Chains A and B, each alone.
Chain A
Amino acid sequence: MKKLNRREFIKGSATSTIGVATIASGISLTTFAAQPKETNPVTNEKRWGMLIDTNQLTEENIDDMVDACQQEQGWGGEEHSTGHQQAGWIKKLKVRDTTTGRISNLALMCQHCEEPPCVDVCPTNASMKREDGIVLVDKHLCIGCRYCMMACPYDARSFVHEDLTNQKEHMPRGKGTVESCTMCVHKVDKGEQPACVASVDSDAVIFGDLYDSSSKINQTLKKIQSTQIRADLNLNTAVRYSGV
């Protein structure tokens, strides 16, 4: 074997270092170059919303909506959670007028406010609103403090109290994080309707873009009287109700 003196050894190792650096810069360059086909980011040209007509909506409809939501998102099977710990992304609510005794049934879920109190109070930015108005929890950042649950005027959020397995592929859920209605964002991004809307045959629940003047929801909202629940809070909710 040829004896290497100090100078030759340093020369040799320097060449190999340069080689590594070239590979390394090649790697970083290609990382940014390889962009597979992805959809474009959502914009604020749209605002997704829902209109629920409580005159048309029957109690069975609401049960169907709750079932569809559970099926789609995989909540409701928590074995070790007690009553008030159970997840409730969408709830059946009975409202009674104390004077006349008139009872209306509401399906109540996250109202996807324009000014969401949950986002205001979140200490880690986990509670967030997408550009198209859908309010979500980023569970990667959620520390489970539950401030958002206290801030929400609609009691729309729940907390996962136990270890879960076998979640839906599109809906990761885990112990120690807060969750709520996502307006089936995974379906909406594909151009489909949320599961609860699809489960009702009639026009009792309409989903669409509130800004688009040709959309059914926009046209209906222009024609008929509708309300926001707790409109006094000025949250400008995306879920509207008529007939309440």
Chain B
Amino acid sequence: MNPHKRSPLVIAAASLVYFFLYAPIVILILYSFNASRANVTFEGFITETSSRVVMDGSLVKASPCGFFHWYCDLSRNDDVIEAAENTLTIAFTATIIATTIGTMAALALQRYDFKFKPFSQLSLYIPIVIPEIVMGIGILTLFSQTFGALNSALNLTGDSRLSLGIWTVTVSHIAFMVPFVTLVVQARLQGFDKSYEEAAMDLGANEWTTFWRVTFPMILPGVLSGALLAFTLSLDDFVITFFTNGPGSTTLPIYVYGLLRRIITPQVNALSTVWILIVFLAVLALQWLQSREQKPAQ
């Protein structure tokens, strides 16, 4: 019996599901080259010669970018650039902190016994079993109540008042990222052969040297894929950011959501297309890391 044999019915169903997954994405990308500013119907591609885009019923001068008109438009949009900067700042900072403390926790949970261990392990599952909106409004309540109390207790006024901003978003992102890092690294540590460490200790290395020269290089692929997962979760997050951002800390998902409720030009499609391209590259990198993890260096 051939284990790779599949009935035509399964193949047909699978193809349909792939079509369902990809058709919206293809249409989205197609509309990023739309000649119509209103972006309601697709009125043909913007070409080099006919790049006169109808704007509010009037003709505008030919765009020097031609086919990529909306992408040029996007690169000149200061709001998008600011949102992208915020998104990356938050994601990088949160990933570094979450990966460091998450890896430490994974080591502690896998290797040590201590008083509050069951509590630590259990708290990791909170973001998985509780809807994100519940966490989001909980964190918002925490911030608004403590900020309100501190502002009036310390008599803070004007700019020195505590308020929501980039740091509240970052701190909240770390909270939902850490469990994923810890669980990924813990899984890596579970299949860990302790004899390498014992050999290093027998040869006279102390615990510190053993960790950095033996243990850490061996868990590094796990740490890296945990970090990459955390990074993508932060880039992608909408709900937690929605409740914890303040003026000046808009991220890309929040920015796009704001646009969807107002006027939509093909610029949104151009932004989405760039984003999908970045995701494509990131997933490629993640797969490459995981394939390296499956075949450890000889």
Determine if chain A interacts with chain B.
no
Residues of chain B at the chain A interface (Cβ within 8 Å): none
Residues of chain A at the chain B interface (Cβ within 8 Å): none
